[in-house]
Amino acid sequence: MLKQVRNLTRSYGVPESWTLRVSREQGGYESARKAYAWPAQQIIDEVKKANLRGRGGAGFPAGVKWSFMRPHPTLPAYLVVNADEGEPGTFKDRTIMELDPHRLIEGCMIAARAIGAHAAYIYVRHELHLAKERLWGAIREARDAGLLGENPLGSGWAMDVQVHTGAGAYICGEETALLNSLEGRRGEPRIRPPFPAQAGLFGCPTTVNNVETIASTPTILELGGEAFSRLSDLHHLGDGGCRLFGLSGHVQRPGVYEACIGLTLRDLIYELGGGMLPGTKLLGVIPGGSSCPVLRPEETVDAPDQKSVLHPWHGMSVLDVPIGVDTMRELGTMAGTTCAIVLSDRACPALALQNIMRFYRHESCGQCTPCREGTGWMERIVDKIVAGTATIEELDMLYGIASNVMGNTICAFGEGASMPMLGFLRKFRKELEQHVRTGGKSSTGRLNA
Amino acid sequence: MSFALTPERQREAEEIFSRYPNKLAACIPLLHLCQEQHGWVSSEVIDFVADRCEVTTAHVQGVVTFYSLFNQQPVGRHQIWVCRTLSCALGGAGEILRHCEKRLGIRAGETTPDGRVTLRTAECLAACGQGPVMQVDKTYHEHLTIEQVDRILDGLLAGDEK
Ligand SMILES: Cc1cc2nc3c(=O)[nH]c(=O)nc-3n(C[C@H](O)[C@H](O)[C@H](O)COP(=O)(O)O)c2cc1C
Ligand code: FES
């Protein structure tokens, strides 16, 4: 159900929303004050009750992740905020950093207190110059106001936040690649175990969370964990609260919208997004960043089993299922970053697939052979499909290549590259075959509307 | 000739080192700082960064070659990145890029002969709802039309005193 709220986006649109003055007027740092008066375990329990699932793509429960942190006898603990925002189609974290950086700083204070850290690093992709400027500005203001430093809010719990920048590599959004990059190394993912909670940044216990995950924690402390979770129609599935939804592609009103979980793809595209561009029809939608398999509007939910997560939507269009971590997984795709990319019938699916595969080939770090070779191989075959020189055997080979990359790499990039491939093969087999049989006569020959 | 930072940037470098528990972690921010001054990462810059971060030049070389935003050759005074990833492509990024190539008389990846502008493609710049998008130096230009691109390019090609 469509329920728009203004929690994370409360200050958006207020003049100078990035300043401490406006932040305070909107209730900023009141939750941090609470957190500093509570024992760490109480914060973790509240976030667990909130059913806050990670907003960076994988949807892991944040409270559970925090509870993996154990005090180390000699080493400090770190909080690392993932602000690399590189997943194609995703542009939500940037709005928080640019429009309400103090919310993120406050979230860092809350999370750091919960996991026993006195320092946080926000890893921002280098291109986001305005975001970095606003974050540094907010950090300086917070230090001057005694919110950061040796004795924030008189708590005695020293806390500081630093901004660190990458240098242009999608893979650095993967949390262990990010840690290597933050340490001054090539951004190559690390083999797990050890997990970051055991040995992360500089070998110390570390929690890595997405910007929006951290920025949601002030709202959780404000409303209470249970009340936050109950904002969501999927509270019973342990997927709580409200979140940012992005929308791009062939719709009338692309943008970032905040709504309670329970929002469906139909709500997002036709209500918030104002529907398809004039004269176009919905061809497919990628629900949460380009790694998520595409859905087609003709698909219906097949879940006759009463125990299935999807049973309440049995027989309905996939567009009418709430966008949640578990609901989308059951549909064979992912909620990912909940930033949807909408394709209309003006766009050629083969060209869309080519664009996606070029991205993953370009961004593979090259460490694991299946990923390095597989992404290149898949791209070359898709190029041939587009050029009209591929055979049906080669089209079939794509299943095998994608399946062999899955699960055979150090990090989840391999899945991220293979899943959209498999999705397009399943959902657009007919169109791709047509492309091969007609010597590359694409359906529309274009991507733009 | 060896590389050195201006006194002002030198102070900034000291501040950067103070953010981390070891010197190696300053490597990427320091490379950015040097590139801002020098325009690209020359072998002298690599020697400088290796020396300051107390690591081998091979380590710094490895870092520089990993990240796409470190220029391994001199580039134009202005840099343009046109996003070519899916959301922008759905909004017409292909035409924007072709238009830039035509207007500047170069292909993506090249620099104009007068050294003013380097044109490049970018992967998703996290502005997908405002596509097509291009970044000119540190500024994003969103919802691009051909007319807007012309105005931006006119500005770059004319208004550059240096
Ligand atoms: C290839 C790849 C790229 C990723 N990029 C990002 C990113 O840009 N931002 C992000 O928050 N998480 C990204 N992730 C997910 C992170 O690895 C990690 O799961 C996340 O930051 C954890 O935060 P959360 O639990 O709060 O979502 C990426 C993962 C992979 C495999
Ligand atoms: S696709 Fe161009 S900014 Fe995301």
**Which CATH number does the domain housing residue A120 bear?**
3.40.50.11540
Same domain membership, residue A335 and residue A356: no
Q: Name every residue whose Cβ is closer than 8 Å to that of residue A43 and which is 6 or more positions away in sequence.
A: A35, A110, A113, A114, A221
Q: How far apart are CA A128 and CA B28, in angstroms?
A: 16
Same domain membership, residue A79 and residue A183: yes
Q: What is the mean pLDDT of residues A78-96?
A: 98
* Chain B contact set for A56 (CB, 8 A): none
> Distance, in angstroms, between A303 CA and closest chain B CA?
32
Same domain membership, residue A213 and residue A130: yes
Task: Report the pocket of ligand 1 as residue ranges, CB < 6 Å.
Answer: A 54-58, 60, 62, 82, 84-87, 171, 173-175, 208-210, 213, 411-413, 416
The CB density around residue A346, as the number of other CB atoms within 10 Å, is 19
A98 part of contact set with chain B, CB < 8 Å = no
Identity at A290, one-letter amino acid code = S
pLDDT-based confidence at residue A144 (cuts at 50, 70, 90): very high
Same domain membership, residue A85 and residue A208: yes
Same domain membership, residue B150 and residue B94: yes
Q: Is residue B73 part of a domain?
A: no
Q: Name every residue whose Cβ is closer than 8 Å to that of residue A283 and which is 6 or more positions away in sequence.
A: A296, A297, A343, A344, A345, A347, A349
Q: How far is the CA of B125 from the centre of ligand 2 (A)?
A: 5
Give the pair of three-digit tokens for residue A94: 């940037």
Which residue, among A179, A181, A206, A355, would best test binding to B if mutated, counting the most B CBs under 10 Å from its CB? A355
Same domain membership, residue A83 and residue A135: yes
A280 part of contact set with chain B, CB < 8 Å = no
Does the distance separating the beta carbons of B63 and A91 come in below 8 Å? Answer: no
Same domain membership, residue A168 and residue A50: yes
Which of helix, strand or coil describes residue A342? strand
Does the distance separating the beta carbons of B95 and A181 come in below 8 Å? Answer: no
The CATH code of the domain that includes A267 is 3.10.20.600
A80 part of contact set with chain B, CB < 8 Å = no
Q: Which residue of B has its CA nearest to A161?
A: B19
Same domain membership, residue B93 and residue B49: no
pLDDT of A409 over the 70 cut: yes
Instruction: Give residue B38's domain range.
Output: 7-66
The CATH code of the domain that includes A394 is 1.20.1440.230
Our separate counts of H helices and E strands in chain B read 7, 4
Same domain membership, residue A24 and residue A163: yes
Ligand 2 pocket check for A246: Cβ under 6 Å: no
Identify the domain boundary among A344, A376, A398: A344
One DSSP character per residue, A101-120 reads HHHHHHHHHHHHHHHT-SEE
> Distance, in angstroms, between A236 CA and closest chain B CA?
32
Q: How far is the CA of A57 from the centre of ligand 1 (A)?
A: 6
Residue recorded with tokens 């204070």: A109
A122 part of contact set with chain B, CB < 8 Å = no
Taking the CA of residue A411 as reference, the ligand 1 atom at the shortest distance is 31
Q: What is the pLDDT of residues A332-383, one digit of tens each?
A: 999 999 999 999 999 999 999 999 999 999 999 999 999 999 999 999 999 9
Q: Find the CB nearest A168 among B22, B68, B140.
A: B68
* Chain A contact set for B140 (CB, 8 A): 130
Q: Is residue B152 part of a domain?
A: yes
Instruction: Give residue A50's domain range.
Output: 20-229
The CATH code of the domain that includes B40 is 1.10.10.1590
Same domain membership, residue A293 and residue A262: yes
Same domain membership, residue A355 and residue A337: no
Q: Is residue B72 part of a domain?
A: no
Look at chain B and report how many structural domains it folds into: 2
Q: What element of type H or E holds A329?
A: helix A325-330
Q: What is the mean pLDDT of residues A203-217?
A: 98
The CB density around residue A278, as the number of other CB atoms within 10 Å, is 7
Ligand 2 pocket check for B121: Cβ under 6 Å: no
Ligand 2 pocket check for B87: Cβ under 6 Å: yes
- The answer to whether A245 touches B84, Cβ cutoff 8 Å, is no
Q: Note down pLDDT in tens along chain B; length 162 residues.
A: 799 999 999 999 999 999 999 999 999 999 999 999 999 999 999 999 999 999 999 999 999 999 999 999 999 999 999 999 999 999 999 999 999 999 999 999 999 999 999 999 999 999 999 999 999 999 999 999 999 999 999 999 886 544
